[in-house]
Structure 1
Amino acid sequence: MERDSARNGAVRSEIVIGILELLDENTDREHGVTAAWIADRLGVTVKTVRGHLHALREMRPFGRGVGHIERGELKDAESPDPRPGWYIEPVFDTAQMRLLADGAALSRSDGAYLQDLVAKIYAFAGRSRQLGIRGPLMTPKHYNRESLSNIERLNDAIAHERGIRFHYCTYDVDGELVPRLGADGHPREYMADPYDLRYKNGKYYLICHLQPYDDLAYLHVERIRDLMVDVDDHTLNRTFDSFADENGDPIDLTAFMDERPYPSPGPAVPVRLRVEGGLEPVFDWFPDAQATQVGDDAYEVTVKATPWSTTWWALQYTISGVHITVLEPESIRDELRRAGRILLDRYE
């Protein structure tokens, strides 16, 4: 009897797995299937399928809801062939799908790999019928073919606190990546403690401690080659927790990156600005900016940022419709004056 019970349990499990597979492969929020259709493919009775479907609706397998789409719910459907019936919720909703797919498409990676990745994202969102990419995703002309494996290995190194060694590249006259050379004329080997991977301004950055320097460093992942990861865990020369901000507090990496519209070394400082013509350039780059209106479309703004990144940021809006004037600190004003003189001498 125990053997019969075990056999029946195994059969029930196979039926449930078969139902979930059919729902996952053939349904979304606008396309359902009938219990009879499922029963026909699994070779069981409709009554059996309906019983399992109602049980799955209560269970929410893997956190995904199982439900039934009624015909009246499809009157505003976007797809040309909506279909009532049983369905399972997709892994991602449509907004999550677009964010993931567009983020992947923006990365500088292998085109065929990205095409496959985006297709999987759409499938997980139940939108495989409407893959939203026009034309193929092309591999960048000067693509580092070690990038994908490097991302996987860097992620592992960060998770296990393993030190890394690598060559760091620059471009030659043909735009090809070539290792930077040391004083001996051979490729220079770098050593670093990796902490995080962050995407900003169209670049994928490794946040790390580059030995033997004291500050946090920002390296373009696509320029890393010949990456070697220590085989043992906890081999970092210095942990991320050993870094502190100017007040001696632990570094919040998200806030730390927000203070650097362009990743740059050095501490962030308070910067006071006068902005005329609109605040879009401010809040697009500095989400924590403090602004006070002081006139007709004029504002006094305070941000916290590194001097170098503030200089680069201000220079890009020199001839825009928004006028930005750095009021403090004087060191940034000096650097902007110096940049102005260089431009005047170069183009006069």
Structure 2
Amino acid sequence: MAASSALPTAQIVIEILEQLIKHTDPEHGLTAAEISKRINVSDKTVRGHLKALQSMTPFDRHVGHLDRRDLVNAESANPRPGWYIEPVFDIAQMRLLVDGAALSSSDGEYLRELIAKIYTFAGKSGQLRGLEQLTTPKNYNTEFLNNIEILNDAIAYGRVIRFRYCTYDVNGNLVPRRNGDGDIKTYLADPYHLMYKNSKYYLLCHMHRYDSLSYLHVERIRDLSIEGPDHSLKRTLDSFSPTPGQPFDIVRHMNERPYPMDGKATPIHMKIHGALEPLYDWFADADVVQTGEREYDVHVVANEHATLWWALQYADSHIIEILSPASLRKMLHDTGEYLASTYAQQ
């Protein structure tokens, strides 16, 4: 049957774009003849619309033509010349989104669906590389993605949330926290911010039963709902600012805590002997002066308790010495005494 151009122009353009989106990327194209055969219109009609699309950048995505010389350095095993449309995400952006999704403790099948959509936006949706490696975690949260949507809306509109929060039982299963009477605890909180830290997805919030900020693992939240109207928070995030009257700086606040925990940040002085990776992997804003060969004088502003945890993980390498404040040195001393006592040879 001969190709026909009886279809409305708008429908032809839409079908051409659908073919480009489904079957092309910057290393795999389709010829006008292939598209023509698939949508049953003439080669001439397809070429005319492709040239028009090339000058229009539909949906802010470039439409172009790949020649064989454009594919000399292609990384895929079967590059193919022809027309293509630029993907929404490049490979690096797609990888970051996929890895971020995989970090969540969500159901494996649910993650596969989400990641498949990410790959679709990146083009070549049939090539779902790595999906076979996804497994469902023991304590996966079937509510995880729905909770993210609820939390995002609650944060955007300043609405209080109600939820249950989980802890582990003796078998390592997540179970709701209970009070002394055995009843499941229900919490109210003002949600402020979602962020990854140390491979965990945290909700920064104010739980109404406490006076301080809390850092909750999102995958442990269950039975989440929104409570109250817009802008009904009990406290705003700015009310926790260490400088009254100044906005709360979330980025700075989290950078001052190698481990998320409440409490003020204070100036900390230390010496480091050896590599600086243990420092800059955790303190991006450290002030460092080299004083000798592989010896450094270091100043950071950080939460003392979080810095205690950080320093202890490198204690066996003998590369870090905290010089001040005295309160942090005492915490390290007392911890050292406890360890020495506990693990003393009998």
For residue 247 of structure 2, what is the aligned residue in structure 1? 250
* Percent identity for Structure 1 against Structure 2: 57
Contact 1:171 1:177 in 2 (8 A): yes
Deviation (angstroms), 1:65: 0.4
- Selected match of 2:135 from 134, 138, 155: 138
Q: Is 1:314 the equivalent of 2:345?
A: no
For residue 103 of structure 2, what is the aligned residue in structure 1? 106
Q: Aligned Cα RMSD in Å?
A: 2.0
Instruction: Give the partner amino acid of 1:139.
Output: T
CA distance in 2, matches of 1:191, 1:66: 50
Q: Is 1:333 the equivalent of 2:317?
A: no
Aligned length: 340
For residue 4 of structure 1, what is the aligned residue in structure 2? none
1:253-274 CA distance string (max 9 Å, x none): 1121111110011011111110
CA distance in 1, matches of 2:312, 2:341: 16
Q: Is 1:345 the equivalent of 2:345?
A: no
Instruction: Give the partner amino acid of 1:89.
Output: E
Instruction: Give the partner amino acid of 1:305.
Output: A
Mark the CA change 1:345 to 1:250 in structure 2 (over 3 Å): closer, same or farther: same
Deviation (angstroms), 1:120: 2.6
Contact 1:274 1:300 in 2 (8 A): yes
Contact 2:174 2:220 in 1 (8 A): yes
1:118-157 CA distance string (max 9 Å, x none): 2332332225454331743111112233323222211221
Provide the secondary structure at the position in 2 that maps to 1:164: strand
Q: Is 1:215 the equivalent of 2:209?
A: no
219-228 or 82-91: which moved more?
A: 219-228
Deviation (angstroms), 1:240: 2.0
CA distance in 2, matches of 1:144, 1:69: 44
Give ranges in structure 1 of 5+ residues lacking alignment: 1-7
Using structure 2 for the length normalisation, give the TM-score: 0.93
Mark the CA change 1:153 to 1:134 in structure 2 (over 3 Å): closer, same or farther: closer
Instruction: Give the partner amino acid of 1:337.
Output: H
Instruction: Give the partner amino acid of 2:61.
Output: R
For residue 184 of structure 1, what is the aligned residue in structure 2? 181
Give ranges in structure 2 of 5+ residues lacking alignment: none
Instruction: Give the partner amino acid of 1:112.
Output: E
CA distance in 2, matches of 1:92, 1:301: 40
Provide the secondary structure at the position in 1 that maps to 2:315: coil
Q: Which runs of 4+ in 1 moved over 6 A?
A: none
Using structure 1 for the length normalisation, give the TM-score: 0.92
Contact 2:22 2:125 in 1 (8 A): no
1:4-25 CA distance string (max 9 Å, x none): xxxx999111111111000001
Q: Is 1:173 the equivalent of 2:185?
A: no
Mark the CA change 1:144 to 1:31 in structure 2 (over 3 Å): closer, same or farther: closer
Contact 2:256 2:265 in 1 (8 A): yes
